[in-house]
Amino acid sequence: MKRLILVRHGKSSWADPALKDIDRPLKKRGFTDAELIIKAFNAEKISEEAYQVYTSPAKRALTTAKLFSDTLARTPKDFNVLSNLYTFNTQELLHVIYTLEEKSNACMLFGHNPAITEVANLLGNKEIANIPTTGLIVIEADVKSWASFAEGKTTLKLFPKMFK
């Protein structure tokens, strides 16, 4: 059994138009939404297994991933920054998933739309129109390797608006 946790980065700031996209920070709402989702996710008690955490190097995704890692009920096994997670392309995100290290059966990926939503729809069994910022989706598949992850079951959906 493999468990994939997809998280879209928190709400980012557009206050400084001179910043490159990769350097945009979180807005205050990004921090408060993360608190809501982390609390809800911890309450789910999905598994005792620690997660491998993989994040885009974009400041908004990296900050979101650190917030989760610092306050998850289970300490992550590893925290990894992958340059190829800074993508908006579905096929590139799928490639990252299919090449994840096999040392863990549970991985949490922090990335960007539209790739996060499209991958959730391709790999899960519930149609999701849009994963909002700080949205979290859990997909489980009865497979032995990440390379064969497909036709999973969407077992959890947490969006900030569910807790406001």
pLDDT, mean over the chain = 94
Q: Quick check: 50 pLDDT over 80?
A: no
Domains, the chain, ordered by start: 2-10+25-163 (3.40.50.1240)
For residue 4, what are the β-bridge partners? 107, 139
Query: If you average pLDDT over residues 61-74, what whole number do you get?
Result: 90
Give pTM, 2 decimals: 0.96
By C-alpha distance, which of 64, 63, 47, 58 is closest to 106? 47
Query: What's phi and psi for 133, nearest 5 deg?
Result: -55, 140
Query: If you average pLDDT over residues 75-99, what whole number do you get?
Result: 94
Query: If you average pLDDT over residues 54-61, what whole number do you get?
Result: 98
Q: Is 107 helix (H, G, I), strand (E, B) or coil?
A: strand
Dist. CA 164–CA 155, nearest whole Å? 22
Q: Quick check: 47 pLDDT over 70?
A: no
Q: How far apart are the first and last CA of the chain?
A: 33
CA angle 141, 109, 93 (to 5 degrees): 80
Q: Quick check: 23 pLDDT over 90?
A: yes
